[in-house]
Structure 1
Amino acid sequence: MKRTEGKVCPVCDGRWRGGLAAPRHVADWSLLGAAHQQAMLAELGRRIHSGASFTVGEIGGHLVFRIAAPDGRIAPRLVTGGQDPLFAHLVGHIDRSDHIDLAVAFALESGIALLQPYLSDLLDRGGRLRLVLGDYLDVTEPAALRRLCDLTGAAQIHVYQTAGGSFHPKAWLFRAQDGGAAIVGSSNLSRTALTDGVEWNLTVAGDGAWQPVRDAFEALLRDPQVKPLTPEWIDGYAARRRRLPLPRAARRIVEDEPPLDRPEPHEIQREALAALARSRAQGQSAGLVVLATGLGKTWLSAFDSEGFARVLFVAHREEILTQAMATFRRIRPEARFGTYSGKDKEDGEVVFASIQTLAKAQHLRRFDPEAFDYIVVDEFHHAAAGTYRRLIDHFRPRYLLGLTATPDRTDGADLLALCGDNLVFRSDLQEGIARGFLAQFRYFGVPDEIDYAQIPWRSSRFDEAALTEALATRARAQNALEQFRAHGNGPAIGFCVSRRHAEFMAGFFNAAGLRALAVHSGEGSAPRTSSLEALGRHEIDILFAVDMFNEGVDVPNIGTVLMLRPTESAILFLQQLGRGLRRSGDKVLRVIDYIGNHRVFLTKARALLAAGDGDRSLSQRLDAVADGTLDLPPGCEITYDLKAIDMLREMLRTTDAQDEAEAWYRVHVLRQGRRPTATEFARAGFDPGRTGHGGWADFLRDMGEDLPDADKLPGDLLRQLERSRFASSAHPALAAALATEGALPESGLGAAIDARLARSGHPAASTDDVAAARNFWRMTPLVRAGDGALALARPVSPPGKALIEEIVDWRLDGFAAAETAPAVAAEPAAPFIASPRLWHEYMREEIPPLFGATFSPGNWNSGIVKIAGGLVLLTTLKKGGLAQGNHYEDHFLSADRFQWQSQTSTRKDSARGRILSGQAKGTVHLFVRASKLRGTTAAPFLYLGVPRFRSWEGERPITIEWDLQAPVPAEFHKVLGVPAL
């Protein structure tokens, strides 16, 4: 960054907007290299196509071309097509314009598809579009009209109804800060006419030259034959076009145009589609699919939805909705789409809506619960929020599909529950790379010198202004440049925190001789689509982006991802990583990631290394990185600078068994920006009623939550709810009903219990269960009975009612798990996801996801767990601390042979016994650990693979000898007690 008289060069700083600047800080043309000279000349040529003039000068010692607005004296330019296609000229004008008017005789889908990304960019940056096209000879394709209706923002689309007459204009009018231009000629909106066809189009620039075109367009808009284009008009036009044969001339135009290729699902998507079909065939009405970024989860939903008439697509960001609409349009070119903004209720076959709008009660009430056959909720890792629960509780589709690229099975505990605990399919990043669908990567974790302790932390994120002030500095930009030159390769995307940060970085890299652009949603941004294309053609070296390209955007084959900002979300981090993973030959993506002195950076490391929630799990993964034993997909590498890994270790907290719950809690708050619910806490493997702090409310208060004083909460009732062994779900449901209503007539207890159970998706209670619940609470001092009614002995404050509801939700969730689980601790049906890795250590809660299952303490604290397709054995060799009767004779006979003893209730002719011996179909997976604790914290299990049954003896218990899949490596012999033979 150059300075003039103590001031930063306004050109390098990105503040100069008067034209075209040299890509680095030089004052003389001869000081630029040939590559930069050619790039500047090419861009200058594009600028002056509009008729603009330029002068050469310098600002603060920085070479610039000042662009002057054109006037009517500029000579017209003729574009003849073929080797000089109109499309390239249109793109240049669209990118510079803030207002476009267009009149054209007809449009084919191929032409609109070609222009749509550039027109969307215009509208996204606040530009305006007015378009009039005709129905002359019915050449215009309904699919083209549908695409035009998909445009959002200030787009006014009209149709000229010819009524048997003629309509032949082909004219563009561009208005921009440099004065604009007009193009009049022969090209209609088809790919052929815009690209390789021989078409003559005359470009004129300057107000005086294109004023007649503007006047003619304004007159055309006032013509009574011009009508707004609406979905209803398209429906009628499409019906007419189907009913009446096209005239020969029109038919020839349409048939000669090459059709758009219809996308087809790739292999992993086909597997997911088959799994979804099986799910529905088995009677499931909801399911979750996990696909890594880059494997096409939105495409999957579009393919899977084809058999359903009415579809709702819900996401948390407008950008995702826009991209989803474009994806669905490729699959349903003739379908009627709608977007729900809260103002007008669209009646499209496919409706797109943001969760923030749709989940509000006043909006949900506008939709019949059965309005949609198929609902897609994208990025389902946000589903723990109550907004998603309200939406899912309201609608009754034939199928609900949840999609995520980065599931978090503990923080997002409601994830599977909202999809009926049905994990339909999963293909993660490792599988995508191993199967060749995603590129290999080399990750470099480098130390960040910023002191993040000095940056305010508000609402689960850094203050943007303060963070920008810290990041947009010459010292850090210089470090980023050095890291890029040391580790980067090929075109790059750098993710920035703010518009100012992106423009600062682009200016700095340009001044250093690199070709850089800043892309964001504000004024002065480089055009998104054209910039991406230029990056793919290697015409620029790096794009600095803000809230762009994180998800759902087709990014060209970039070679480097530069992560210049902290990411508070593991989801966002993996999405940004995924932007560079498009497979291209033998490409290996380079990832340069800054590691700072704040615990939020542990989130990125935890996501990258697939570590669990606790610091212990991450510490083990970092150990594996340091000693080179971390299991990665083929061709991938993860390298941390020594200082960076030291920073991560310093932020890790050593926890004992009790503190593990506190550590998990803190990580959840950091990731989600809110505290976990009792249900989420329980699903992570902890007991909300037994935290070592007292009850759940005491734990929350000790963790810093703002709760009323203990004497203002119904402590006795909360403890009763937390610790009682209820015989049925009616017991906690009745407590919740009493807290809500205050008093209930005994004759109405059943209805009140059933209403509360229905809210949580439980069946109605039996008469016996209602009676048992009534008798249970009547016998406690917490409830008083009299005059044929039950009431709480003390009134409950609103905060107390909220806590009661939360605890009841948790207890009911436990009953749901028990009601759906078979007698032998079976897991919900789910496909085998990905084999665990031999000799790899897993915490207990990390094991269920390996088999498509969900962790719950009731199932997975057992030594043998039934899963879909077999059994999982979880064996602790040293039984200290286990209950009497649970001491089994488990030990190694040799490095390749293991003796295991079943529970005392297991018989040889039982279902489990037949699987263990191989008499019944099923695979046995063996996990072993030396003892329950490693130091003061829970120890992980070592995966020993799939053992082969050798022999057995005894009955209740059974003692089995297994031949191991492979001999135990020598480094494990001592800790596991493998005998030396």
Structure 2
Amino acid sequence: MTATEQMDLLARLGEALTHGWTGFDISDAHGHFHFVRRQAFGPPRLITGATDPLLPLLARSIDGAAQVDLAVAFALDSGVRLLEPWLRDLLNRGGRLRVVVGDYMDVTEPAALRRLEDLEGADLRIFETGTSSFHPKAWLFRAADRTGSAIVGSSNLSRTALTTGVEWNLHSENATDVVQDAFESLLSHPSARVLTSGWIDAYAVRRGRTALTDIAQTIVADEPPDPAPRPHPIQQAALDALGATRRAGRRKGLVVLATGLGKTWLAAFDSLPFQRVLFVAHREEILNQAMSSFRRIRPEARFGRYDGNEKNTSAEVLFASIQTIGRKAHLHRFDPNAFDYIVVDEFHHASAASYRGLLDHFSPSFLLGLTATPDRADGESLLELCDENLVYQCDLFEGIEAGLLAPFQYLGVPDEVDYAQIPWRSSQFDPTALDAAIVTEARAANALEQFNLHREGPAIGFCCSVRHAEFMADFFQRHGIKAVAVHSGPGSAPRTTSLEQLGRGEIDILFAVDMFNEGVDVPNIGTVMMLRPTESAIIWLQQLGRGLRRVEGKLLRVIDYIGNHRIFLTKLRALLGAGPGYRSLSQRLEEAFNNNLSLPAGCSVTYDLEVVEILRALLRKTPAGTDLEMRYRDFHLRHERRPTAAEIAAEGFDPSRNGHGGWFDFVRDMGDPVDDRAMMKVAELLRTIERDAALDVSALMALSSINGAPASQEGLARWAFHPLVKREDQHLSLIRDDPGGKGARMIQELVAWRLSILKPDQVDESPAPTSVAGPGLWIEYMREQIPPLFGAVFNPGNWKSGIVRLERDLILLTTLHKKDMASGNHYQDEFLSPDVVSWQSQSRTRRDSKVGRILLAEEPDVRVHLFVRANKLRNGKAAPFLYCGRPQFDGADGEQPITIQWRLAEQIPRHFWGALGIV
């Protein structure tokens, strides 16, 4: 090809490539061709307000910008709040925001400045006008490639100016450099100061001392603040309970509110009497939403952040990321009494060591734990962290019955993916293999079919990965459905704008990844599609909750995919409120299949016939799975963590008889992480603990002393010649290095198991060991499984009684219906309500006896525990007892026997009501 032909080809290529550009230049320099396009600017556009408001253009421009610059004469809180979601999106995706606001005539509201200050990462300046005028109103938007646009006109930062007011603003793409130069000059002006909390405080005082001018007063009067939010009935009931618990002297409390009932608003309302507040969460999204809610309740308070970007230690209300403030180096920057009131949101995450450290470090006047589920992510008791004080609880069905959450129709549909072929590691599917199995045309086509059959209004679909979400959005788009994918990656559709478009019907479905799980209000969602296997019941309930925001006349449709893996039983248990064990799950499944579930009006649960067979198969014992393996998996599903050896023993199994070698070999083979290097270093010691039946209490307690606790001389002597341990003063230590104490923790886990199962003749006079596994609320236990929960041993002579006294605990084992029992045991026990029990002591019990004083709450050091069952027998065999927690004494009558009224810390779950005779 000749040079002329090459130039002609480039010319034709250039014509094809210059759409939207004014032209191109081609040059030949040093043997190389250069093709340069010249940008084409659209004509300037005048936005006139009223029917042509500025806000939509601002939203679109912010969505496409990498940098936004703004200069206004004044800002009102209404305007800042209107734009806040888009500005947060800009900052969250790494964009740059620079704002210059004037104090001209003191029109700018301090609340507006504080809300701007809440935008973490924004560069904020205040232009002190003094006696000068200050009237700029300009926006500048720059994309990543430095192209952009500018808006200059009459709109300040107020709701009226951005929406209904008659305002003239000129939008131009070819004046950006001129506006940029003017903005840079404004930033460097001597009167432009960095905006600080101190400046806002002083300004608020100054503004409050003098009357506004008539003009300023008119501007502010045109923008009256929104009415202050008020608690709804359930929030008010929780606030009343919180007030009562503080008046009773309690300093910690847990509130359980179903997703959608406004936990964050509750915390904001409850925090008002307190000066310094700390709000802790594990996700930036929750912190941002909390700041917005608290700002509505405390408009004049000084807010701050403590996270990876900002380390504010002086704010009146501090919003902190647990990943940052939970570290020791950061905790020690705060006095233990630095805060009057601490909120830990999504409290089910409080299993992490960082949360433990925070809870141990601070001593607030009151600590509030908030969660939508009473099950903590590691299965331990949430109440333990809140001093056993469940202040208030309202579940999903109660919220629906109260008219505060939308009713729903649930449909379980079969998932054709073969999950048995996807590796399961560390309590989750292998992400790469899962993605490959789920991102297919066939599965997307099935989802589209389900969507077309069952959709009701705008929809949200929860996906397992960015690739999955983008694939689903593309597939739906190709089939005529308006769809977008929203995620944290660079190709995401704009978050706030997408939600706005969803609400207006401009988008049919939004596919999300790890977004909208927590702390996000999406009231207009009519359909929720669960397109991913969810390992966590907590996350599944949160995703369901995204559609439960109530709108008049709304009926939510839930389309949930169910596959051939036990993890899908998590959904069944979470939705139907099944108790522990597969028997309870099977019963609830059959009730659902036969339409016998007790649900709020308007709600329904339907499983496709194929899904019922999938679930039935999962609930059947298979030859490949031993009883121990099934119980291990069931525990995993209930508690979202593996059981300890002692917990498996408490359920009637021998951890050492697992067919996999040692206990930790079994744990590893079940898919849970085990540090093989640490295990190898202490392997001989672990084998000894598991297999040496001669180990007594003193020997086992000596091994427990590896953590530094003193041990008896007899116990220390037992290990004098063992090659893996050595004596140091009054305790043992490992000879080999044990980074992080992992080997020691393995030893202590097995020791705790052995201590929990010692026979009576082995106990000697040593104190009863304390089990690492206390009873779990609403879990059923056979009579012989209960003693190890309290560090005791099962002795049929003692434990067949209805009352068992231990050193620090009084155990009540209550059978409500006495027809299968001896005539002398017909005590009058019954539930008066879901949280009140009338219980009768043994006929010989006097008020002044030791047991009598405990029952009458006159022995505060002894804890009462209530276990109940409906009948002595179930299916012809001994029935288990349901653990109802530690009841509070609520009155007594009579003597020999004493009739006690107990009040439970929380209501019996609804699915137990029928069996226990609760009306």
State the SS of the aligned residue for 2:870. strand
Q: Distance in 2 between matches of 1:465 and 1:717?
A: 37
How far the C-alpha of 1:567 sits from its partner, in A, is 1.0
Q: Distance in 2 between matches of 1:715 and 1:891?
A: 50
Q: Which residue among 91, 94, 110 is the counterpart of 1:123?
A: 91
TM-score by length of 2: 0.76
Contact 1:159 1:229 in 2 (8 A): yes
State the SS of the aligned residue for 1:353. strand
* Residue 212 (structure 2) aligns with: 246
* Residue 644 (structure 1) aligns with: 611
1:476 aligns with 2:443: yes
How far the C-alpha of 1:303 sits from its partner, in A, is 0.8
State the SS of the aligned residue for 1:97. coil
Alignment of 1:520-599 (within 5 A): 520-599=487-566
TM-score by length of 1: 0.71
How far the C-alpha of 1:346 sits from its partner, in A, is 3.1
Q: Distance in 1 between matches of 2:67 and 2:715?
A: 76
Deviations 1:630-650, CA, capped at 9 Å, x for gaps:
222222111111111211222
How far the C-alpha of 1:379 sits from its partner, in A, is 0.9
Q: Which residue among 383, 386, 395 is the counterpart of 2:353?
A: 386
Q: Distance in 1 between matches of 2:556 and 2:702?
A: 56
1:323 aligns with 2:262: no
Q: Which residue among 870, 873, 885 is the counterpart of 1:931?
A: 873
Contact 2:455 2:527 in 1 (8 A): yes
Q: 1:412 to 1:133 in 2, by over 3 A?
A: same
Q: 1:508 to 1:738 in 2, by over 3 A?
A: closer
Deviations 1:541-582, CA, capped at 9 Å, x for gaps:
111111221111120322110111111111110001000011
State the SS of the aligned residue for 2:126. strand
* Residue 15 (structure 1) aligns with: none
1:71 aligns with 2:40: yes
Q: 1:464 to 1:738 in 2, by over 3 A?
A: closer
Contact 1:864 1:874 in 2 (8 A): no
Q: 1:692 to 1:813 in 2, by over 3 A?
A: closer
Q: Distance in 2 between matches of 1:809 and 1:236?
A: 60
Contact 2:77 2:111 in 1 (8 A): yes
Alignment of 1:278-357 (within 5 A): 278-341=244-307, 344-357=311-324
Q: 1:411 to 1:499 in 2, by over 3 A?
A: closer
Unaligned runs of 5+ in 1: 1-17, 20-47, 54-67, 742-751, 754-773, 815-827, 834-841, 848-854, 893-899, 917-923, 944-951, 959-971, 977-981
Contact 1:295 1:432 in 2 (8 A): yes
Deviations 1:157-207, CA, capped at 9 Å, x for gaps:
2221223222110011122369432211111111111111121112222x3
State the SS of the aligned residue for 2:272. helix
Alignment of 1:176-195 (within 5 A): 176=143, 179-195=147-163
1:802 aligns with 2:775: no
621-630 vs 436-445, which moves further: 621-630
Deviations 1:320-371, CA, capped at 9 Å, x for gaps:
1111111111111111111112563432111111222222222212221111
State the SS of the aligned residue for 2:405. coil
Contact 2:241 2:392 in 1 (8 A): yes
573-582 vs 525-534, which moves further: 525-534
How far the C-alpha of 1:449 sits from its partner, in A, is 0.6
Query: What amino acid does structure 2 have at the position aligned with 1:80?
Result: T
Contact 1:111 1:194 in 2 (8 A): yes
State the SS of the aligned residue for 2:164. coil
Q: 1:780 to 1:91 in 2, by over 3 A?
A: closer
Q: Which residue among 794, 806, 815 is the counterpart of 1:874?
A: 815
Q: 1:238 to 1:454 in 2, by over 3 A?
A: same
Alignment of 1:49-60 (within 5 A): none
* Residue 135 (structure 1) aligns with: 103
Q: Distance in 2 between matches of 1:139 and 1:689?
A: 73
Contact 1:614 1:660 in 2 (8 A): no
Deviations 1:474-495, CA, capped at 9 Å, x for gaps:
1111100111112221111111
287-296 vs 329-338, which moves further: 329-338
State the SS of the aligned residue for 2:278. strand
Q: Sequence identity of aligned pairs in percent?
A: 54
1:426 aligns with 2:393: yes
Q: Which residue among 441, 462, 486 is the counterpart of 1:495?
A: 462
Deviations 1:666-687, CA, capped at 9 Å, x for gaps:
34546776534578x49xx937
Contact 2:461 2:530 in 1 (8 A): yes
* Residue 399 (structure 1) aligns with: 366
Q: Distance in 1 between matches of 2:183 and 2:102?
A: 14
* Residue 844 (structure 1) aligns with: 780
Q: 1:518 to 1:795 in 2, by over 3 A?
A: closer
Q: 1:52 to 1:172 in 2, by over 3 A?
A: farther
How far the C-alpha of 1:594 sits from its partner, in A, is 0.5
Q: 1:525 to 1:906 in 2, by over 3 A?
A: farther
How far the C-alpha of 1:956 sits from its partner, in A, is 7.2
Q: Distance in 2 between matches of 1:430 and 1:229?
A: 47
Q: Distance in 2 between matches of 1:436 and 1:878?
A: 41
* Residue 53 (structure 2) aligns with: 85
Q: Distance in 1 between matches of 2:264 and 2:894?
A: 53
Contact 2:412 2:608 in 1 (8 A): yes
Contact 2:486 2:511 in 1 (8 A): yes
How far the C-alpha of 1:133 sits from its partner, in A, is 1.1
Query: What amino acid does structure 2 have at the position aligned with 1:802?
Result: R
Contact 1:368 1:395 in 2 (8 A): yes
Unaligned runs of 5+ in 2: 1-15, 23-36, 669-673, 721-726, 758-773, 784-788, 793-797, 806-811, 830-837, 856-865, 885-892, 900-912
* Residue 237 (structure 1) aligns with: 203
Q: Which residue among 161, 169, 181 is the counterpart of 1:215?
A: 181
Contact 2:706 2:732 in 1 (8 A): no
State the SS of the aligned residue for 1:632. coil
How far the C-alpha of 1:263 sits from its partner, in A, is 0.8
Query: What amino acid does structure 1 have at the position aligned with 2:685?
Result: K
Q: Which residue among 258, 266, 275 is the counterpart of 2:232?
A: 266
551-560 vs 402-411, which moves further: 402-411
How far the C-alpha of 1:400 sits from its partner, in A, is 0.9
Q: 1:628 to 1:860 in 2, by over 3 A?
A: farther
Q: Distance in 2 between matches of 1:717 and 1:793?
A: 19
State the SS of the aligned residue for 2:138. strand
Contact 2:689 2:695 in 1 (8 A): no
Q: 1:801 to 1:289 in 2, by over 3 A?
A: same
Query: What amino acid does structure 1 have at the position aligned with 2:40?
Result: D
Q: 1:901 to 1:635 in 2, by over 3 A?
A: closer
437-446 vs 528-537, which moves further: 528-537
How far the C-alpha of 1:105 sits from its partner, in A, is 0.5
Query: What amino acid does structure 2 have at the position aligned with 1:505?
Result: M
How far the C-alpha of 1:605 sits from its partner, in A, is 1.5
State the SS of the aligned residue for 2:432. helix
Q: Which residue among 432, 442, 446 is the counterpart of 2:413?
A: 446
Contact 2:313 2:334 in 1 (8 A): no
Query: What amino acid does structure 2 have at the position aligned with 1:791?
Result: Q
Q: 1:690 to 1:86 in 2, by over 3 A?
A: same
Q: Distance in 2 between matches of 1:375 and 1:274?
A: 18
Q: Distance in 2 between matches of 1:720 and 1:220?
A: 82
Q: 1:675 to 1:128 in 2, by over 3 A?
A: same
Q: Distance in 2 between matches of 1:721 and 1:491?
A: 66
Q: Distance in 2 between matches of 1:595 and 1:667?
A: 17
* Residue 730 (structure 2) aligns with: 791
Q: 1:740 to 1:563 in 2, by over 3 A?
A: closer
Contact 1:443 1:592 in 2 (8 A): yes
State the SS of the aligned residue for 1:493. strand
State the SS of the aligned residue for 1:91. helix
State the SS of the aligned residue for 1:313. strand
Query: What amino acid does structure 2 have at the position aligned with 1:479?
Result: N
Q: Which residue among 711, 717, 727 is the counterpart of 2:684?
A: 711
Q: Distance in 2 between matches of 1:370 and 1:714?
A: 47
Contact 1:929 1:939 in 2 (8 A): no
